[in-house]
Structure 1
Amino acid sequence: MLDTKRVTQFEEYVIQSMDEQCAPGLTVAIAKGNKVIYTKAFGYRSKEREITATTETIFGIASITKTITGIAVAQLVEQGLLSFSDPVIKYLPDFRLPGGGGEDVTIHHFLTHTSSMPPLPALGISIRGNTVPDKLVPDKKEITEPAKEQKEEPPVNTYSELIDYIASHECDLLGKTGEYFSYSNDAYALLGAIVMKVSGLTYSEYVRENIFKPLKMTRSFLNFEEMREHNDVTDLYWKNEDDEMQVSTHWQVAPPYLACGWVKTCATDLIRVFQMLANGGEYKGVRLLKHESVKKNIAMNHNVSLYDSYGHGLRVKPNYHGVTLVEHGGALKGVSSNGGFVPEKGLSAVVLCNLSAVPVAKVWLAAINLGLGLPIDTPKVVYETSEWAQVDRDRFTGPYKSGEGAEFDIVIEEGELWIKYKKDHCVIKRLNDITGLFVLKGQEMEIRFNLDDTGKSWGVGIGVRIIPRA
């Protein structure tokens, strides 16, 4: 049982976090072993219609879908139908990296975001080509509306078109295969194609039959038509360029990207995925994975930050007050999500929110802290910063831009190193010779400078992506 006083502190923390972000609705579930020990819905699934959220309200989970894809691939490995070391071209013979090559890219590289592909525009193109635009007030740009200066875009509506787009896209690779970690929605999208090729089922069918059904996840979907047959589905909220709240019922659609971010579910369903993983692959007598496969999925393969690494569809931080934090987050229009577990304690938690760009990872950590008996606001990391030497700062300055739309400048002003986005300007403090820290909208963000042979930065790692110098 959770202590009543600490539960009250947690709920006050959640409400304060929602108020700070103006988040309409949020749901939480916490479990210990096979038992759910806490569930609660906060706020609204439709604020305009004054319909409150419930713990069965269906939200998007965006990139937590990658955890589910990691499970699917691990199941197929257990069945002997593929191997993590298999080259991607064994199953997708037309796959090529931008500029050619890619024969050495394996399924493991896709799972660990180490294929060498930089962030590409393909996902945005697929969303724009398949999502119903929302009607906004005049002169306000909708998230699915292409920029006026944008040239005609090739379609990215199928796996084949995505493979063609990657092969023909003009960009520099980040390095050798396996050398750098940089988050790739495109890689996970193609893992869905591999699941289909190997299993003989569509990705949606495979996940439904081999993950949702065994876990009795009856309110979990990849098919929009199936989801629309159910009630208690959230509206979608996001803020426009002027920080004005927008609402929609038009979910983003990108057909070849199901495996990277398109599961819709509720907190009481999703918690079962992480209960299963926390229990070493078993949920209430039903085994989905061998314990060794779970260990493989949470193995620390490549550093994401100074303090955590990435496995197969899961992010791993060791040494958190004597335990390991395993988690994944997600973000799309009207989606902010985080879920994960503590393997040593059999503790799991999920947080789902219907507003974009909400730092729900903090709420998830607060839920884990509640379960661990730690102070609710215990941070994941306590950073110690210092000042940059002039010679270090000069190596980093310049413009940076990614294919997914991230764009900023690193500059020196008033004796400080700054990162300047279109609207947000943040001071970067030093953590070590090539890593800094800045605070954006209340979130601490590491920034890692990748240096060329001359000692100058050719790209920076922010969050989970490497953004190349423009």
Structure 2
Amino acid sequence: MAHVKWLVVSLLMFALVLAGCQPLVAPDVAAPAGVEMDATKAALDSASVAQIEAFVAQEMEAKEIPGVSLGIVKDGEIVYAKGFGEAEYGTGRPMTPQTQFAVACVTKSLTTAAIMQLVDQGLIDLDAPVVEYLPYFKLADERYQEITIHDLLANTAGLPMPNYVALYGGFSQNPTWSPELLEDYVRSLADKPMAVDPADNIFMYGGDYFDILGDVIAKVSGQPFEEYMGEHILAPVGLEHTTFIVDELDPELAAAAHWRDEAGEMQISVPSPTYYPAHTPSNGMFSTTEDLLKWAIVNLNRGEWEGTQIVPAAAYDKMWTPYTEIPWGGIYQHWGYGWGISDVENNRLIFWGGGHIGSPTAYYLVPEENLGVFVGANRSLEAVKGNEYADAIALPVVKLLLGLDE
């Protein structure tokens, strides 16, 4: 996720950026009016709305963020959804709740849900070895044969946290999607090492686990991963602007990624340059605030959407169980299946975010309060993968809504 550096940014260059570069966000769009999807519902009081919007404007100006989209669900309905600023700097194209972001590792929650659907149907056993479903799965270490579906979901399979360019060369940057790409990627792992023994239950975060799971979904279901997800997750919930295929992005809705390179020059890309189709099940989804608020409602309802059980209710006892400790500190405490799990002042938070360069996202659920918050932004820290800019908005908003002091 967000803590994998893509490029090393020197302190000198960073100082030059701060000292002398022209601001990415011009003064006239630093604190823009929001673009609404819906009128704010009465469930969110006007004082909270004013505080949230002032805070968003402050963060955008301080961090040169061209655009932010923020949404809130409470008690099964969308109570707030607005876009602020521009989807792409200098174009006047507004950020809205329908703007499509490269949501990166938020993708994992949907891939996990698909696995749990197939578990419920008796087609996948969480304790079965991966090779039972993918006979061609192989690593350079013979312990790969012991890796189970549970190990992949819990990030304890023992693969090193990858630098996709250094570890996997050019393959990860293959820009062409095809239904065979996942299997090709899994086969490419045959000479890759393991860092720890799966039996040690050590958290090692990486997209590889969920890319392998995506291939399991494809082989067990008999459908390409993207097709299965569209038929069994996206369509039933009405996630109309969500896709796993970059060519399906709407150019009028897609958010541009913004960041400064090592020389302090502004860079803009659609999509983020760290989107790779070979890693679609782990971090390749494109979605919107509107759609992810619907997905939040599904999860807060333990898998139910408008009377239909999309994800088995019992799956949440598995997905939201803390299996390992996350060694990153701060809000990052434990990992379940596809979600982080933390306690903040006696409030259980189910969360994760996405950290593609220039496309940070943050996604928080508070099940006991039936509350969910999503934030997407289109600017990240200089030339690094990270969701800090989105998290810096989302977590304070969650705390405000819970009545917690910052």
Pairwise mapping of residues 244-393 of structure 1 onto structure 2 (< 5 A)? 244-252=265-273, 253-305=275-327, 308-318=333-343, 320-356=344-380, 357-359=386-388, 360-375=390-405, 378=406
Residue number among 116, 119, 139 corresponding to 1:74 in the alignment? 116
Deviation at 1:195, TM superposition (A): 0.4
Matched, 1:237 2:258: yes
Partner Cα distance (1:262, 1:291) in 2: 26
Partner Cα distance (2:288, 2:128) in 1: 34
Residue type of the partner of 1:126? F
Deviation at 1:36, TM superposition (A): 0.6
Does the 8 Å CA contact 2:333/2:342 hold for their aligned counterparts?
yes
1:282-341: CA deviation from partner (whole Å, max 9, x where unpaired): 1222221232211210100000146621000000013x2332000011111331011121
Matched, 1:125 2:150: no
Residue type of the partner of 1:317? S
RMSD between aligned alpha carbons? 2.1
Change (3 A) 1:131 1:163: closer
**Residue 237 of structure 2 aligns to a residue in which SS?**
coil
Partner Cα distance (2:255, 2:198) in 1: 43
| Greater share of residues in helix | 2
Aligned to 1:427: none
Partner Cα distance (1:312, 1:89) in 2: 20
Does the 8 Å CA contact 1:34/1:283 hold for their aligned counterparts?
no
Aligned to 2:135: 93
Does the 8 Å CA contact 2:237/2:295 hold for their aligned counterparts?
yes
| Greater share of residues in strand | 1
* Count of matched residue positions in the alignment of Structure 1 and Structure 2: 349
Partner Cα distance (1:290, 1:49) in 2: 44
Deviation at 1:172, TM superposition (A): 5.3
Change (3 A) 1:237 1:13: same
Partner Cα distance (1:268, 1:34) in 2: 14
Partner Cα distance (2:169, 2:286) in 1: 19
1:341-374: CA deviation from partner (whole Å, max 9, x where unpaired): 1111111111111223451122111222233233
Partner Cα distance (1:161, 1:285) in 2: 39
1:67-88: CA deviation from partner (whole Å, max 9, x where unpaired): 1111111111111111111110
Residue type of the partner of 1:334? G
Partner Cα distance (2:208, 2:297) in 1: 28
Matched, 1:13 2:36: no
Residue type of the partner of 2:218? M
Residue type of the partner of 2:232? N
Partner Cα distance (1:364, 1:98) in 2: 41
Does the 8 Å CA contact 2:139/2:194 hold for their aligned counterparts?
no
1:424-445: CA deviation from partner (whole Å, max 9, x where unpaired): xxxxxxxxxxxxxxxxxxxxxx
Matched, 1:25 2:67: yes
Change (3 A) 1:173 1:321: closer
- Gap runs ≥5 in structure 1: 133-156, 379-470
Aligned to 1:420: none
Does the 8 Å CA contact 2:139/2:189 hold for their aligned counterparts?
yes
Residue number among 120, 142, 146 corresponding to 1:104 in the alignment? 146
Compare 260-269 and 8-17 and name the one that shifted more. Answer: 8-17
Compare 123-132 and 39-48 and name the one that shifted more. Answer: 123-132
Residue type of the partner of 1:32? K
Pairwise mapping of residues 154-303 of structure 1 onto structure 2 (< 5 A)? 158-169=181-192, 171=193, 173-228=195-250, 231-252=252-273, 253-303=275-325
Does the 8 Å CA contact 1:64/1:328 hold for their aligned counterparts?
yes
Compare 362-371 and 101-110 and name the one that shifted more. Answer: 362-371
Compare 299-308 and 87-96 and name the one that shifted more. Answer: 299-308
Deviation at 1:129, TM superposition (A): 3.3
Change (3 A) 1:243 1:113: farther
**Percent of pairs with identical residues:** 27
Does the 8 Å CA contact 1:30/1:347 hold for their aligned counterparts?
yes
Does the 8 Å CA contact 2:127/2:150 hold for their aligned counterparts?
yes
**Residue 372 of structure 2 aligns to a residue in which SS?**
strand
Partner Cα distance (2:253, 2:200) in 1: 43
Aligned to 1:34: 76
Residue type of the partner of 2:363? G
Partner Cα distance (1:285, 1:123) in 2: 44
Deviation at 1:181, TM superposition (A): 0.5
Residue type of the partner of 1:165? S
Quick one: higher RCO (CA 8 Å, sep 6+), 1 or 2?
A: 2
1:27-58: CA deviation from partner (whole Å, max 9, x where unpaired): 01100132111111111101121222111111
Does the 8 Å CA contact 1:26/1:53 hold for their aligned counterparts?
yes
Residue type of the partner of 1:233? A
Does the 8 Å CA contact 2:335/2:341 hold for their aligned counterparts?
yes
Change (3 A) 1:177 1:12: same
Deviation at 1:127, TM superposition (A): 4.0
Does the 8 Å CA contact 1:337/1:351 hold for their aligned counterparts?
yes
Does the 8 Å CA contact 2:362/2:387 hold for their aligned counterparts?
no
